[in-house]
Structures are given as structure tokens and as C-alpha cells.
Copies of this chain bind each other. A is one copy, B any other.
Amino acid sequence: VVPIATIRDLARRSGVSIATVSRALNGYADVNEETRQRIIALARELDYSPSEAARTLVRQRSQMIGVVWDLSYHRPDLQHPFLQEVLIGLKQGLGAQGYDLLLLSTFGPRGKSYVKRSKQHRVDGVVIMGVDEHTDEIQELVQSDVPTVAIDLDIAGPRSTYVTSDNVQGAKSAVHHLHALGHRAIATITGPHEMRPGAERLVGYREALAELGLEVDPRYVVEGDFYHDTGQAAMHRLLDSEDRPTAVFAASDMMAMGAIRAAAEAGCRVPEDVAIVGFDDIVAASLVQPRLTTVRQDKDGFGAAAANALIRVIEDPDTEPQVVTLPTELVIRESCGAANGGSGPRTKEVGRT
């Protein structure tokens, strides 16, 4: 067990005061260069590094960013793969600036609130993700003076902002792509209308249709909940109707996969009989058969953007928090039919009926 060297040890062994050691190590200008070098060498030799606790105590800030992530809230399949990717970008972006991430446990020791625990730890800021934003706890946090950035949650406060994907544009690109492949009967399986991404992707669908001079057929709009099963059920409804759509835009990859399963059950081939486009580009999207054409969210970008946005709020208390919107990208694979000639719905006649 190696005892930890303190600043006092350094001072003693280098023959200066602890104040000088502190200044030398922290890069203050007014330190004799030779003295500084001697101290730095000694620090390396003793493997010294300052106690974060002591530093936090005197500086009143910890160089830690709290992370509020209620892992139990969301069903694991959808949110997690996505948020995890975000965590990577976050860790990198924040780590580069010298911040460590503190995962605030969901249920504090004595049921303490997030605000309380944020202050208790003197975290410099907090990232919020994977939670129900309508909760009192979260609202309290957002309305507090703790700098905050949320991932894909519609949250704003005096020192709070969020980053989100350009859902409208993303949905539009999917519909336009389908249209370019010759489809006119384009349906959509939406997310919950009360969730921002759900609502926005529907708006994009509508706007695209309008731009293309197509009517929105109410029977072609079926609501799901972003998960596999509702995608499957919705697709069955779509396929059971009189006028089957030739193409479907699903507002999530999970629902798109459910739709593919439903198509198979109904004896419909994808993409020959019906084309399908998803949203998110989760890992599984490129593993299923047919591989899913989808609107990719910029997962790394989320983390980096959130890191930057948060740092901005932290460092400049007077800055107006700015919402960040990230571009999406249409990833063309097999489920839309573009890969095999883009013949679109015309192949329908060739297929089995």
C-alpha cells in the first residue's frame, strides 16, 4: 500500500512552501522557472496528483458533470442502444475538457432530489437523458440554477437547453425517397403523438406529402409506440385494408422491424410487395433481412453537441441557452427496393399476389 503523496510532502522535499508548490503545479506565471521545474520533477517522481476533494472544497466546483439517466424508465430495447452511443460522445467531448461523468443513482441514499445531489457534489453541470421529463424531480432540476443539457427531451430553463435530431427533415427525406422510387400510396406508422419525436416525424410525413402534391389519407396514418409490437400490429392493419399502401415509413427501426415481420406473416415480400423505411439506424437495422433502409440519427454528434452546449452554459452564466438540432441522414439499404434497381411498386405485379 503506497501512501498517497500530498502537497505537503512536495513542499517539504523541495524546500519551498505549499503555496509555491500549488502555484508551480497550476501553471501560475509568477514562479521561478527553475523552481517550477524542480517541483514538477519531484511531483512526477512521487506520483503526486492533487486531491479532488480538497480542490472541490476550495474551488466550489468539482470538474464533474452529473448524468441523470433513469435506466429503469424506458424499455431497454429502444432507448438504450441509442443513448449508449450518446454516452460515448459525451464522455469523449467532456473528457477532453477535463470533466469526469458522475452517474447520479436514481434513488439517492435518502431519496434526495437530483438538484440536492448535484449541489452536494458540486457538479458543474448535468446531462439529462432517458427520463420522463414531466416529472417534478426533473422539472425542479431544469428550473434550478444548475446548468443542464437534455438529450432528445423537450426541456428548457434558465440555464437549461437540449439537443435533438431534425425529425421533420428526416421524415421528409424518407418520404421523398419513397416517392422517387415511384411510390404514391405511402403510409406511415407513427410514434406517440404526445412525444416530441413522434409528433415531429408525423409533421415531416405530412409536409412531404403536401410538397409532392399527395393527399394525406387518414387510413394511412397508424399510431404506434416506437416499439416492435405496435409496428407489427399497425402493419397488419395497413395490409388488411382495401387499398394497401405500396410503401410504409415507420417512425422507428423497431416498428419497421415489426412491420417486416407482419409483412412476412401476410405473405408480402419486402421490398417487392411493400417498401419499408425506418428511423434511427440502430445496430440491428443492418443485421435484419432485408437490411433496413432508415433515417440515421447522428449518435456521436449528439454526445459532442451536448458536451459543447453544456460547457458553453457552464462557462458563460449570461449566455442564452441555445437548442441544438442535428441533421439526419437517409441510409439506403434493402428494405426500400432502391438497391435492386429502384423499380419500386411496379415490381408488385411481378410478385406473388
Contacts and interface: CB of A to CB of B under 8 A. Distances in A.
Contact of A100 (B47, B98, B104): B104
Nearest to A144: B2
Interface stretch (A70-78, A185-193, A235-243): A70-78
Contacts of A107: 95-96
Interface stretch (A115-123, A149-157, A324-332, A340-348): A115-123
Copies in the complex: 2
A118 to B, nearest CB: 11
A31 B283 CA distance: 58
A54 B57 contact: yes
The 10 closest A-B CB pairs, nearest first, are A95-B105, A53-B56, A284-B284, A101-B103, A71-B88, A53-B57, A98-B109, A53-B53, A84-B84, A49-B120
A51 interface: yes
**Which of A52, A81, A104 has the most chain B CB within a 10 Å cutoff?**
A52
Contact of A1 (B100, B101, B105, B145): B145
A330 to B, nearest CB: 21
B52 A121 contact: yes
A19 interface: no
Contact of A288 (B88, B94, B117, B288): B288
A261 interface: yes
B105 A94 contact: yes
A20 B151 CA distance: 43
Contacts of A67: 103
Contacts of A88: 71-72, 76
Contact of A81 (B81, B91, B109, B257): B81
Interface in A33-62: 47, 49-54, 56-57, 62
Contact of A261 (B54, B105, B289): B289
Interface in A90-135: 91-92, 94-96, 98-109, 112, 116-117, 119-122
A103 to B, nearest CB: 4
Contacts of A289: 260-261, 264, 288-289
Report the contact-size class of chain A (Cβ under 8 Å from the partner).
Answer: 35 or more
A53 B62 contact: yes
A64 B261 contact: no
A88 B77 CA distance: 13
A39 to B, nearest CB: 15
A11 B105 CA distance: 29
A228 interface: yes
A1 B94 CA distance: 25
A329 B91 CA distance: 34
Given A53-B57, A95-B106, A100-B121, 10 more contacts: A1-B145, A2-B145, A52-B53, A52-B121, A53-B54, A64-B102, A71-B87, A92-B105, A100-B102, A100-B104
A44 to B, nearest CB: 11
A122 B50 CA distance: 11
A4 interface: yes
A122 B121 CA distance: 14
Contact of A91 (B52, B56, B71): B71
**Which of A56, A112, A145 has the most chain B CB within a 10 Å cutoff?**
A56
Nearest to A71: B88
A283 B76 contact: yes
